[in-house]
Structure 1
Amino acid sequence: MNFSGDFHVHTPFCQHGTEDKMEDYINQAIERGLTYLTFTEHAPLPNGFSDPAPGKDSSMPADAVETYLQEARRLKKKYRDKLVIQVGFEVDFIEGFEKETRMLLEKWGPLIDDAILSVHMLRSPEGRFFCLDYSAREFSSIVSVFGSVDAVYATYYRTLRQAIETDLGLFKPKRLGHITLVEKFRQAFPPSRKFDREISEILELVAGKGMELDINTAGLYKEHCQSIYPSESFIRKAAELAIPLVPGSDSHQANHIARGFQRLPELPYRLPGGVKR
């Protein structure tokens, strides 16, 4: 890689992660020879939206945001001679809550360095919401509600298109997260057809909007996936489209920093737009 950084990292403020301290992640990054580290904790869910995950643990509580940002600022200063640290959010795009998400971004956007826009929540034809990547058991329930695995995949890629195309204001994240997350349980719940056309169309939209792409190694370590999000062929297609490729481990514990980066294809990866060299 032409530089060394991990730009998709969670923290102890993540309710479904470990209790490893932010400083633990930083020390791991330094130990592994990284130059850059970006914390992208799950942003609070928009007002009026009820977390559909069985554990109600999808995001950071709204009352924890100030503490999260203060701790990040403290660590930036402490480690400024050893590591370039950025702080931001992974923001959920939720169909029907665009206005509320825009308001959330307007509130916190001026105080962060970077952000990722992801789809974790799907709305069923009946209007119920489900957390896509919670567990294989939950995914089985989602398939039952949607009627088929293919219907879940189609809804996911349609929602991802909406995320790209929707105006979320000045502080809309410029990077699209793990675009093939729907494949997390693909070996246990395989679709009946390939969704290559939908993924290619997503990449064309990302390129057209001037967005960045999260090249996410977490899927390599998921029992029913074992692939980068997206797969190598689509990473190469993104590179051909001149989409900035930004690597992220999606770490939810400190010892996962930069995990799997040695398995990324040899391509020119980039810094997120807001990071200074």
Structure 2
Amino acid sequence: MQKRDGHIHTPFCPHGSSDSFEKYITKAIDNGFTEITFTEHAPLPFPFTDPTPDKDSGMKHELLPAYFEQLQVVKERYKGQIIINIGLEVDYIVGFEEQTRNFLNKVGPMLDDAILSVHFLQHHARYTCIDFSDEVYLQFAKEVGGIQPMYDLYYETVKQSILADLGPYKPKRIGHPTLIHKFQLAHSETIDDSAQIESVLQLMKAHHYELDFNSAGLSKSFCQEPYPTIDHALFAKKIGVPIVFGSDAHTANDLHQHYNVLQQKLTF
């Protein structure tokens, strides 16, 4: 069986760990994985201001050459043992499409794989990182008029990311498209967003995108489910959306987290 983990962070992550590329790679080999993609958070577009306190949502622009160089070295070193894809997790930020397209045009030739994700939502010209903390999440919900309006804005933004013209090197995989569930247990409301999720997945199908079936939510105390849920991943599979498992590991310890449980239920 081909085992693939398509969403892995690195020592270049400013909010992650210093675990080396080799630590991730040897663990992947030991666990029988045949292919992995390192998808570090791409530098945020200028002049976007990171709203997080430490401004550490993306790697620094000046580190990109070293990131690509080090990945080329390990890619060659472990050739024949495991396929290592050089990738990035690129943020879709409303209003910064041109800057993102220019960035992708520049780095695209060096990428084997990539993910397009929504972490930042815009409201009244201000941006919020909705997966930063439960406090930030709940405060943002108040600002936009409630939990449901926040969910609506999130899915609308994900749809915009799918439809956006980001050039020939635009990532073909949509990252954790139900990330808005990360703090769902921090509020007491019951939101039925199944129709919205299915609409997103159908749009992905229509525009030939892969799904980042992301296990990280299972380890989040206020989420306790993957992004998206198994039922919605099964829906994606049913309509023909390619599914790529992603552990979204920010430490080697979290690499391939929950893979076996999800694989048994879905077979991806």
Task: Report TM bin, short chain.
Answer: over 0.9
SS at match of 1:158: helix
What are the within-5 Å matches in structure 2 for residues 60-209 of structure 1?
60-124=59-123, 126-209=124-207
Give 2:226's aligned residue: 228
Q: Check the 8 A contact 1:12/1:20 in 2, yes or no.
A: yes
Contact residue 6 and residue 247 of structure 2 kept, 8 A: yes
Match of 1:274 in 2: none
> C-alpha displacement at 1:140, in angstroms?
2.1
| 8 Å Cα contact 1:150-1:192 kept in structure 2 | no
Please show how residues 18-37 of structure 1 align to structure 2 within 5 Å.
18-37=17-36
Is the contact made by 1:245 and 1:268 (CA closer than 8 Å) also made in structure 2? no
C-alpha distance in 2, partners of 1:261/1:59? 26
> Does the 8 A contact of 1:30 with 1:83 survive in 2?
yes
Separation in structure 2 between the aligned mates of residue 190 and residue 199 of structure 1, nearest angstrom: 20
Would the aligned equivalents of 2:216 and 2:247 in 1 still touch at CA under 8 Å? yes
Q: CA deviation at 1:141?
A: 2.0
Percent identity over the alignment? 42
By how many angstroms is 1:192 displaced? 4.3
Cα drift, residue 37 of structure 1: 1.1
Q: Give the Cα–Cα distance (whole angstroms) in 2 for the partners of residues 8 and 192 of structure 1.
A: 29
2:222 is equivalent to residue 263 of structure 1 = no
Query: Deviation of residue 54 (structure 1)?
Result: 1.9
State the one-letter code of the partner of 1:26.
I
CA contact 1:185–1:224 (8 Å) conserved in 2: yes
Deviating runs (4+, > 6 A) in structure 1?
A: none
Counterpart code for 1:199: I
1:246 to partner: Cα distance: 0.3
* Partner Cα separation in structure 1 for residue 194 and residue 125 of structure 2: 27
Q: 1:119-148 CA deviation, whole Å, 9 max, x = no partner?
A: 000001x11100010111211221222221
Partner SS, residue 59 of structure 1 = coil
Task: Tell me by how many angstroms 1:48 deviates.
Answer: 1.0
1:93–1:117 CA contact under 8 A, matched in 2: yes
Contact conserved, 1:149 with 1:190, CA < 8 A, in 2? no
Match of 1:275 in 2: none
Once the two structures are superposed, residues 189-223 of structure 1 have per-residue CA deviations (whole angstroms, 9 ceiling, x without a partner) of 24443111111110110000011000000000000
Please name the residue that 2:12 is paired with.
13
| CA distance 1:191–1:180, change in 2 (3 Å) | farther
CA distance in 2, matches of 1:247, 1:182: 19
Q: Which deviates more, 256-265 or 112-121?
A: 256-265
Conservation of the 8 A alpha-carbon contact between 2:230 and 2:266: no
Partner of 1:272: none
Count, aligned residues: 267
Between 202-211 and 189-198, the greater mean CA deviation after superposition: 189-198
TM-score by structure 1 length? 0.94
Q: Is the 8 Å Cα contact of residues 230 and 265 (structure 2) preserved in structure 1?
A: no
2:44 aligned with 1:45: yes
Residue aligned with 1:116, SS = strand
TM-score using structure 2 length: 0.97
* Range with greater deviation from structure 2 (144-153 or 59-68): 144-153
SS in 2 for 1:210: coil
What secondary structure, in the 3-state scheme, does the structure 2 residue paired with 1:187 have?
helix
CA shift digits 1:139-181 (9 cap, x unpaired): 1221222221111111100000000011111001000000100
How far apart are residue 53 of structure 1 and its match?
A: 1.3
> Which stretches in structure 2 are left out of the alignment for 5+ residues?
none
Q: In structure 2, how many angstroms separate the alpha carbons of the residues matched to 1:49 and 1:259?
A: 32
